Amino acid sequence: MALDETIRGFMDRFKLPDFSGLDWKQSTDRLRQSFYRASRSVERDAPELAEISTLAVDGAETSLKGRLYTPLGAGIGPGPGIIFFHGGGFVLGDLDSHDMICRRLASASRCRVLSVDYRLAPENPFPAAHEDAVAAWEWATARADLLNMDPDRLCVAGDSAGGNLSAFLCQEMARRGGPLPAFQLLLYPLVQFVDIRAKKLTFQEGFFLSPNLFDYFRDAYIHSETDRMDPKVSPLFAPDDDFRGLAPAHFVLCGWDPLKDEGQAYASKLAAHGVPVTIREHPGMVHGFMNLTAMSMPAREAIREAGEVVGHALGAI
């Protein structure tokens, strides 16, 4: 299917800064500024929520920032909830870059959403983000009373690198014996950190994922080549036993995404080990398209659909 015309227009306007001659800090700063401009916008028709509050998520090496979204349809708690980890290749992203995704996800699912701001690379290399994800999950399940969430009806969710953290968390909690997520929502997840250059898709460099940008993220977060195959950061390569008994999963994949095949492969491995799996593919969309709700109605619809899947799975709808 052809690339969505709205997305194509955005790609034509959005360019990465020139990194030549820059050190890691300078290039990362410029990339973050560029991502900031691309992912933040004011949407006057954003869903109305009952409350949005900030809080500290404790238990990690440093206290993490969190943002709790309570939709109008959440009802009196404790109720089902979503623990959300943002994407950005472990280098980009924060609570604000994914604020609109979380607002729309909360509204559609009728579930409270806790968005977690984990540590980023290159300042904090592997396994910092993965350690933060475990700490945030354990804190959230232990403080479900504070969050007004039911600890037995929690979904772990994320896009791209956040999808990586979500997939890892489900495996890691099973290895540790819990507490286990009840559902996993994986939005165009990054499930292997080895290579995407074998893919036959052609992109301009930009807001979306390309081979050079993939390498940039990988080298910023993973300093040792041997760590690229570590199941923590490449859950696709985890042993078969790590796929058994995991939470049901819903995947959102994109036709114009070099990670689509890996997402499908991960879904197939889950299904082969008895995990209920559903997949929704958006053929004309690219990696990261859910950050473009200010200009793309299909992006808004995709988040609504994904939220409703979670809401039904957790009994909120």
**Three-point CA angle 178, 182, 187, nearest 5°:** 110
Task: Encode pLDDT of 47-62 as tens digits.
Answer: 999 999 999 999 889 9
Q: How confident is the model at residue 72 (pLDDT cuts 50, 70, 90)?
A: very high
For residue 43, what pLDDT is reported? 77
Looking at 98, 130, 250, 287, which residue is catalytic?
287
Strand order in the sheet with 49-57: 49-57, 64-71, 112-117, 79-85, 149-159, 183-187, 249-256, 277-286
Per DSSP, 182 falls in state: S
Tokens representing 315? Answer: 């009994």
In this model, does residue 204 exceed pLDDT 50?
A: no
Name the strand (E) or helix (H) holding 134: helix 128-142
Burial class (CB in 10 A: 0-12, 13-18, 19+), 23: exposed
- Asked if omega into 298 is within 30° of 0 (cis), the reply is no
How many beta carbons lie within 10 A of that of residue 102, not counting itself? 23
Catalytic: 257? yes
For residue 40, what pLDDT is reported? 64
Task: Encode pLDDT of 112-143 as tens digits.
Answer: 999 999 999 999 999 999 999 999 999 999 99
- The three-class DSSP label of residue 230 is coil
Looking at 107, 160, 210, 234, which residue is catalytic?
160
In this model, does residue 19 exceed pLDDT 60?
A: no
Q: How confident is the model at residue 2 (pLDDT cuts 50, 70, 90)?
A: low
For residue 21, what pLDDT is reported? 53
In this model, does residue 11 exceed pLDDT 70?
A: no
Mean pLDDT of 197-221: 66
Mean pLDDT of 225-242: 95
For residue 31, what pLDDT is reported? 75
Higher pLDDT, 23 or 249: 249
pTM value is: 0.90
Contact 55, 66 (CB under 8 A): yes
Catalytic: 20? no
Express as a percent the part of the chain with pLDDT over 90: 70
Separation between Cα atoms, residue 216 and residue 297, nearest integer Å: 30
- pLDDT, the chain, mean: 89
Burial class (CB in 10 A: 0-12, 13-18, 19+), 55: middle
State the residue for tokens 């995704």.
101
Name the strand (E) or helix (H) holding 238: none
Contact 110, 141 (CB under 8 A): no
Catalytic: 287? yes
In this model, does residue 207 exceed pLDDT 70?
A: no
In this model, does residue 295 exceed pLDDT 90?
A: no
Mean pLDDT of 81-105: 96
In this model, does residue 13 exceed pLDDT 80?
A: no
Looking at 86, 210, 257, 296, which residue is catalytic?
257
